[in-house]
Amino acid sequence: MRLLPLDYFEPLFGSLSGKTVGIVDGFGNVGDDLLYLATRQLCQEFNIEYFTINPLADLKIKTCDKILLFAGGNIGYEKCIPIRQAAYKYNIPCWLLPQSVIRYEELNCEKLFFRETVSRDIIGKGIIVPDLALGFDFPDFKSEVREEGGLFLRKMGGCIFDSVPIVDRKDPAMFCHTPQQYWDYASKFNTVITDRLHFAICSIAMGCKTTLLPVNYHKNKAMHKEWLDSLGCYWQEIL
């Protein structure tokens, strides 16, 4: 099941139907891996041929119409900037897949897509398209008896809840290593309260009562306001 219908993704993928694209993946955690999987699934849905490019290793690539630069929340993130900069050197039009902005970055792209308006406004231009995980076709959630669930917090990188010691935080991104493990783990619980955006998206898709918490920049709050609230996800500022 998709949390949002394919029509929401038409502004991005529709005009690429019948074309060939090179897909560049970034650097991140299992939530980012879900986005890379969703990118390829959506290309298949829109009849787009694709192949994978590693700009840091591939000196030459096959001819393609566009290069799709990975989605996520990493504009301004030091480990991802060099990947985009290397991709620009192919001199093939680059499209930035839906992103959030940590801090301003020069983006040498033909088209820019953002998953929420706060990030679009930081850059000053771009098109709003939902987070690609909201267009991923998740498997049906399991119906067996579930555990009650609870609180799932980042151990590092963005958590604002310092009152919970790092050693006591349960962070599924630290022990789920594939997208399937992420949504399978979410499916074990009735209730999920988390500051991990894509774990929250997985838990919504698995039919959990889901509450999203803030991180140290606008990403989660903006995503909740623009997309997740209407999908039944709750918002909580404090623990």
Q: What pLDDT, in 10s, does the model give residues 49-80? A: 999 999 999 999 999 999 999 999 999 999 99
**CA distances for 97 relative to 6, 47, 139, 185, angstroms:** 15, 17, 24, 27
What does residue 183 show for φ and ψ, rounded to 5 degrees?
A: -75, -30
Query: Max Cα separation, the chain?
Result: 53
Position 147 scores a pLDDT of 87
Task: Record the pTM.
Answer: 0.96
Q: Name residue, tokens 């894509």.
A: 198
Spatial strand order of the sheet with 209-212 comes to: 147-152, 189-194, 209-212, 234-235
Nearest to 128 by CA among 116, 146, 119: 116
DSSP state of 226: I
Position 143 scores a pLDDT of 63
| Cβ burial, residue 196 (10 Å; 0-12/13-18/19+) | buried
Instruction: Please list, in sequence order, all residues whose beta carbon lies within 8 angstroms of the beta carbon of residue 148, skipping any fewer than 6 positions away.
Output: 189, 190, 191
DSSP state of 95: E
Cα–Cα distance for residue pair 130/187, rounded to 1 Å: 23
DSSP state of 142: P
* Cα angle 180, 36, 181; round to 5: 15
Q: Name residue, tokens 């301003």.
A: 104
- Within the chain, which residues score under 70 in pLDDT? 142-143
